[in-house]
Amino acid sequence: MDYRAGSPEILREFLFYHETIKGHSKRTIDEYFLDLRTFFRFLKLHKNLAPQNAEFDEISIMDVDIDLVKSVTVTDVYEYLAFLSRDRPKHGNSRNTEYGLTAASRARKIAVIRSYYKYLTLKANMLSENPVADLDSPKLRKSLPRYLNLDESFKLLDNVAGMHKERDFCILTVFLNCGLRISELAGLDLTDLRADSIRVLGKGNKERIVYINDACAAAINDYLLVRKQIAPLDKKALFLSSRRTRITTSTIHSLVKKHLLAAGLDSTKYSSHKLRHTAATLMLKSGVDIRTLQELLGHEHLNTTQIYTHIENSSLRDAAMRSPLSGYKKEGAVKDD
């Protein structure tokens, strides 16, 4: 996808800014483009600027200019949210899909709109006032991340078998010990390996060093012995697919589900991202401090990392046990034999 061919100038400059100055990845820029294209299409439809009976996904945004952008009000954006929650397909390329995006999806689209108007106001100086400055985001339901406990993690690793067992075991071991994102793991090159660490390219093309323990080092070395016997089509990639090309994130998702099932674990409940949650939770339980965990996981903001502190907080457990009522038993209660 090349956003430059399908963007009006007023949008293209914003995308250029995030690509060149902010250093965001191509994937992030593409998501910004798609989200704002949807917003502009809605505006044209909402303000009767689109051809009658036009299919929503066929509405051109090439004529969007500063006048249309400036005319937007908070009410317009709330009506856009209503459209997203009621009428927007969850899966645009599927004929059989439900309608209405989740609160998380709507919140992401609102965040992009906020960022766009902030750019126009503070960076491009094209607006004197930000019309969406007081815009509220959809309220998100807070839920704790699911994760494997220690015994389940051992069980998963103990049951790795099959044609690519060394590769899959290595991938699962790195997931569970280092907490990499699936995209980071798929993107690893041979040159990213060090004696005691891995160079990881994270979100926003930010590099970080993740140190590996003995289990990871052994799993990587065992896999490299197997990889040497393969004539790779992608010589740079660390993890190869059965076609000898760089492994894809979808293949990693599939192999994680496969080995979860083989280990007798609920493959509908857990996923590759849950293995990242598992690594974070187990490290936190083992005494790793929250700031170190933030750096290891590559989180830009500490509050992203702090969700793991709610999973197992020994001080809260201790507080409950210290309550003066903790030993109370109802008078006349049946005693255990």
What amino acid positions are annotated as catalytic residues?
A: 181, 203, 273, 276, 299, 308
The Cα angle at residue 320 between residues 317 and 324, in degrees rounded to 5: 150
Report whether 73 contacts 134 (CB < 8 A).
no
Residue 287, phi-psi category: left (phi > 0), alpha (psi -120 to 50), beta (remainder): left
Task: List own/partner pairs for 117-123 with CB under 8 A and 24 or more apart.
Answer: 117/72, 119/14, 119/17, 120/10, 120/14, 120/69, 123/17
Q: Which helix (H) or strand (E) holds 201?
A: strand 197-201
How far apart, in Å, are the Cα atoms of 94 and each of 22, 99, 166?
34, 11, 36
Residue of 157, 150, 167 lying closest to 252 (CA atoms): 167
Rounded CA separation 15/26 (Å): 10
Residue carrying the six token digits 């044209």: 44
Report whether 106 contacts 138 (CB < 8 A).
yes
- DSSP for 230-288? S--SSSSBSSB-TTSSBPPHHHHHHHHHHHHHHTT--TTT--HHHHHHHHHHHHHHTT-
* DSSP code, position 132: T
Rounded CA separation 236/232 (Å): 9
Residue of 161, 195, 163, 199 lying closest to 178 (CA atoms): 199
